[in-house]
């Protein structure tokens, strides 16, 4: 097998989904709503709850074990020279059945200093579907003083804290980068492909009303006095916010049927492309995750059998597949490490 079609991988969470992942993938939604994420091709475990979150391949091996056994086959020589046997990326489907709590992810500098990790958690969102009026909260709209933020968090003054953020409407097809450190909350009614650095580091600014003990579990074991130091408290204006979704042209755009999704600030972390065959989408050899978001088609690869694909499929493509071609009346999102 060269291209892997992956089943759903849904660790339990503390917020509710609305069954969108099951409907998108053509499987029966779980009766329990607290499985709102599908961790695709994951070598990252849920923070403090390993092995939850890790992907198991159809042959029974964990993806992490498989890559460790033959990293060049999976990742390619250039990637292994830079990252070793680490894919350096995590991709998810995320179904917001309710507004997620306001939270923040540490950057690489903070993670190296306090969490013994080379990765923080810059992430980005590709909106698959959104109900009318759906939005995300992204960054503070004004500068916030350290004591003000600490007071909001300690007393759970949700209205004040959320009121100080930027509310950004979203619709299907939007692509937005959320840099590490920026406080954010995904609003209800959204299904997205989320691509991120391969960690599960989150500092909760809000937990009231959610099925989690924020004072105990919301600060990565650091205590809130230290954890809140990772928060970007600066005000983000309209121009700065616009830069988070303004993809510029690149060499990738010169290939018919392949369109860059994220601005340059994402380049050191990951990349994503929207694939719409015109008449085909030609993909260079690369370890990648492909999510089929609409239609039906096929993927042909240089080394391996062609794979028929349809909306809701999630594919893991190793470097060894070689050059691949997507054909058909189909739309997909392809995510790759930097």
- Determine the Cα–Cα distance for residues 228 and 210; give it in Å rounded to an integer: 20
Instruction: Name 151's Cβ contacts closer than 8 Å, sequence gap at least 6.
Output: 157
Chain centre distance of CA 64: 18
- Determine the Cα–Cα distance for residues 159 and 136; give it in Å rounded to an integer: 15
pLDDT at 243: 96
Q: For the chain, what is the mean pLDDT?
A: 96
Helices vs. strands in the chain: H and E counts, helices first: 10, 18
- Determine the Cα–Cα distance for residues 306 and 74; give it in Å rounded to an integer: 18
- Determine the Cα–Cα distance for residues 229 and 233; give it in Å rounded to an integer: 9
What pLDDT, in 10s, does the model give residues 206-237?
999 999 999 999 999 999 999 999 999 999 99
- Determine the Cα–Cα distance for residues 11 and 157; give it in Å rounded to an integer: 29
pLDDT at 149: 98
Nearest to 270 by CA among 95, 119, 138, 127: 119
Using the predicted structure, report yes or no on whether residue 291 has a pLDDT greater than 80: yes
pLDDT-based confidence at residue 30 (cuts at 50, 70, 90): confident
User: Which tokens belong to 50?
Assistant: 């390993």
User: Which tokens belong to 111?
Assistant: 């993670």
Express as a percent the part of the chain with pLDDT over 70: 99
What pLDDT, in 10s, does the model give residues 86-98?
999 999 999 999 9
- Determine the Cα–Cα distance for residues 324 and 303; give it in Å rounded to an integer: 9
pLDDT at 31: 86
User: Which tokens belong to 57?
Assistant: 């391949």
> Cα angle vertex 130, ends 253, 161, to 5°?
105
- Determine the Cα–Cα distance for residues 14 and 147; give it in Å rounded to an integer: 28
Chain centre distance of CA 132: 22
User: Which tokens belong to 212?
Assistant: 């989690």
pLDDT at 195: 98
DSSP character string of 78-126? HHHHHHTT----EEEEEEESSPPPPEE---HHHHHHHSS-S----EEEE
Instruction: Name 258's Cβ contacts closer than 8 Å, sequence gap at least 6.
Output: 252, 273, 274, 275, 281, 282, 283
**Cis peptide bond upstream of 309, omega within 30:** no
User: Which tokens belong to 86?
Assistant: 């680490």
Residues 294-309: what's their mean pLDDT?
A: 96
pLDDT-based confidence at residue 252 (cuts at 50, 70, 90): low
């Amino acid at each position: 097998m060269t291209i892997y079609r992956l089943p759903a991988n849904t660790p339990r969470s503390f917020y509710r989904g609305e069954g969108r992942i099951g409907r998108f993938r053509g499987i029966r939604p779980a009766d329990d709503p607290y499985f709102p994420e599908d961790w695709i091709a994951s070598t990252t475990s849920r923070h403090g709850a390993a092995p939850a979150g890790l992907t198991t391949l159809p042959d029974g091996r964990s993806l992490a074990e498989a890559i460790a056994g033959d990293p060049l086959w999976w990742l390619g020589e250039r990637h292994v020279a830079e990252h070793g046997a680490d894919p350096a990326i995590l991709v998810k489907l995320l179904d917001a059945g309710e507004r997620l709590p306001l939270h923040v992810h540490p950057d690489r500098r903070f993670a190296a200093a306090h969490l013994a990790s080379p990765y923080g958690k810059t992430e980005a969102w590709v909106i698959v579907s959104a109900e009318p009026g759906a939005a995300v909260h992204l960054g503070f709209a004004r500068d916030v003083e350290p004591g003000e933020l600490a007071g909001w968090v300690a007393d759970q003054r949700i209205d004040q804290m959320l009121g100080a953020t930027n509310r950004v409407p979203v619709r299907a097809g939007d692509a937005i980068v959320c840099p590490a450190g920026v406080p954010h909350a995904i609003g209800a009614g959204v299904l997205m492909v989320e691509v991120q650095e391969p960690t599960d580091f989150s500092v909760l600014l809000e937990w009231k009303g959610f099925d989690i003990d924020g004072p105990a579990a919301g600060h990565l074991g650091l205590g809130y006095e230290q954890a809140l130091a990772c928060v970007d408290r600066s005000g983000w204006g309209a121009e700065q916010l616009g830069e988070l979704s303004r993809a510029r042209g690149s060499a990738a755009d010169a290939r018919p049927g392949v369109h860059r999704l994220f601005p340059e600030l994402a380049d050191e972390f990951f990349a994503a492309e929207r694939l719409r065959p015109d008449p085909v989408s030609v993909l260079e050899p690369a370890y990648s995750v492909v999510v089929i978001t609409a239609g039906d088609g096929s993927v042909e690869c240089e080394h391996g059998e062609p794979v028929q694909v349809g909306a809701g499929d999630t594919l893991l493509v190793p470097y060894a597949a070689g050059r691949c071609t997507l054909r058909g009346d189909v739309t997909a999102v392809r995510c790759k490490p930097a």
